[in-house]
Amino acid sequence: MKREIRTVLVVNSGSSSLKYQLFDMKTETRLAKGLVERIGAGGPANHAEALKEVVKALAAKPDAIGHRILHGGEVFRDSALMTKANFAKAKKLVKFGPLHMPANLGGVEACEKIFPGVPNVGVFDTAFHIATMPDCAGMYAIDPKFYRKYGIRKYGFHGTSHKFVTQAAAKFLKKPLAKVNLVTCHLGNGSSLAAIKQGGVVDTTMGLTPLAGLVMGTRCGDIDAAAVLSIMESEKKTPAEMDTLLNKQSGLQALSGVKGGDCRDICAKAAKGDKGAELALEMLAYRVALYIGAYNTVIGGADAIVMTGGIGENSSEVRARIINRLGALGIKLDRKVNDKTRGVTAVISAKGSKIPVVVLPTNEELMIARDTVRVLRG
Ligand code: ADP
């Protein structure tokens, strides 16, 4: 007999911090939430020590634990129970996320130690994409030997968020999940779009790593690979230095001069007439609109465009800049509704809009908790 899973602890174990949320799965309400910081740097010595602080904060042992894991490669096409065998498979994927994967998997090991007997489920940020993405979208046009030798292909990220809003949008639109076509836009510090056909991903903007696609807080997104080589050659940069430049010193931050590329600050700067900040916002909006047009085509017409993430949920300005570029699709903005929509579910397109645009707050932690229960129930 399967035991009942009433409470699920969701763990997001990073290299220097550990975030957690505890859910009551009967009501899907959050019972506790917390953050342990400075792991290995003056705070707890390691993830197991960090978890001891979590134990103190919780009233009882959870029934199950769900872990956010960055990369599932092609092995994990769905969330999975972290058995010994699955853990070993996940360990082989560390090369795809040398910064995040050791911390993610360290969180699993620590939970096994601190909560003996409680099952651990891995929820991979790539799985929702890799499950259904066809090769024509997922492969790169280079010699296939690099795919075979090193697994070089598109994987996509933010899968948990895209999955959550896909399910929420289907419900909102009163359509069966297997019939819903969407363009889901997760716009935050890191941003990605997904093309959803019949409830599954057929394309997404991030690639082998989260560097590809949209203009992000500090990441450049799409760029001619030859431009990267050219800079490396001119400035005598190593691959590691170039990685830092493209991931941490580019994007909205580089264009606007706003450290960290925080969208609120960039909007404020642009409102004062700053040209760099204005260009940053226009490039962000342009590229999102460009991909919405493309993805609307590949899914054969969207039932809705979904906006989520810190920017998608909150920034009426960025949303307006995007939607005002979608006239060719017959999409029209309801400016009044858009202006007042912040962090809540709402249709922000006008009545006559050919495709509705829906703001839907994401909840990756709840998605992880739901998947944990689903996997354990089999
Ligand atoms: P992460 O990708 O780190 O999870 P979030 O999804 O929280 O990030 O998104 C962070 C981004 O959302 C920041 O650029 C922030 O400026 C932006 N944001 C949050 N609230 C607002 C707002 N009210 N107006 C504009 N941008 C906002």
Angle at alpha carbon of residue 220, lines to 193 and 217, rounded to 5° = 75
Asked whether residue 365 is domain-assigned, the answer is no
212 & 91 share domain: no
Asked whether residue 1 is domain-assigned, the answer is no
Asked whether residue 166 is domain-assigned, the answer is no
Asked whether residue 2 is domain-assigned, the answer is no
What are the residue numbers of the active site?
A: 125
202 & 322 share domain: yes
255 & 187 share domain: yes
Q: How far is the CA of 367 from the centre of ligand 1 (A)?
A: 20
Which residue of 160, 264, 359, 364 sits with most ligand 1 atoms within 8 Å of its CB, as the best mutation to test the pocket?
264
Is the pTM value of this prediction over 0.75? yes
81 & 229 share domain: no
Q: How far is the CA of 218 from the centre of ligand 1 (A)?
A: 13
Burial (CB count <10 Å: 0-12, 13-18, 19+), residue 61: middle
111 & 191 share domain: no
**How many domains does one find in the chain?**
2
Give yes or no for a contact between 237 and 245, defined as CB atoms under 8 angstroms apart.
yes
C-alpha 67/C-alpha 79 separation (Å) is: 10
87 & 199 share domain: no
Average pLDDT over residues 262-267: 97
Ligand 1 atom nearest residue 265's Cα: 16
Indicate whether 30 pLDDT > 70: yes
CB 189 near ligand 1, within 6 Å: yes
User: What angle do the packed helices 316-323 and 263-271 form, to 10 degrees?
Assistant: 70
Indicate whether 36 pLDDT > 70: yes
Average pLDDT over residues 362-377: 98
C-alpha 291/C-alpha 305 separation (Å) is: 11
Which DSSP category does 260 fall into?
G
User: What CATH number does the domain containing 262 carry?
Assistant: 3.30.420.40
Asked whether residue 371 is domain-assigned, the answer is no
Asked whether residue 162 is domain-assigned, the answer is no
Indicate whether 233 pLDDT > 50: yes
pLDDT, residue 1, reads: 46
Work out the pLDDT band at 2, boundaries 50, 70, 90. low
pLDDT, residue 137, reads: 98
119 & 200 share domain: no
91 & 209 share domain: no
Which DSSP category does 44 fall into?
-
Tell me the two tokens of residue 5.
Answer: 């899973």
Q: How far is the CA of 190 from the centre of ligand 1 (A)?
A: 9
Indicate whether 48 pLDDT > 50: yes
| Domain extent at residue 285 | 174-359
C-alpha 70/C-alpha 185 separation (Å) is: 19
Per-residue model confidence as pLDDT tens digits over 50-64: 999 898 889 889 999
| H or E stretch at 277 | helix 275-298
212 & 72 share domain: no
Per-residue model confidence as pLDDT tens digits over 306-356: 999 999 999 999 999 999 999 999 999 999 999 999 999 999 999 999 999
Q: Which residue's alpha carbon is at the smallest distance from atom 3 of ligand 1?
A: 189
For the chain, what is the largest distance between any 2 Cα atoms, rounded to a whole number of angstroms?
65
Per-residue model confidence as pLDDT tens digits over 72-107: 999 999 999 999 999 999 999 999 999 899 999 999
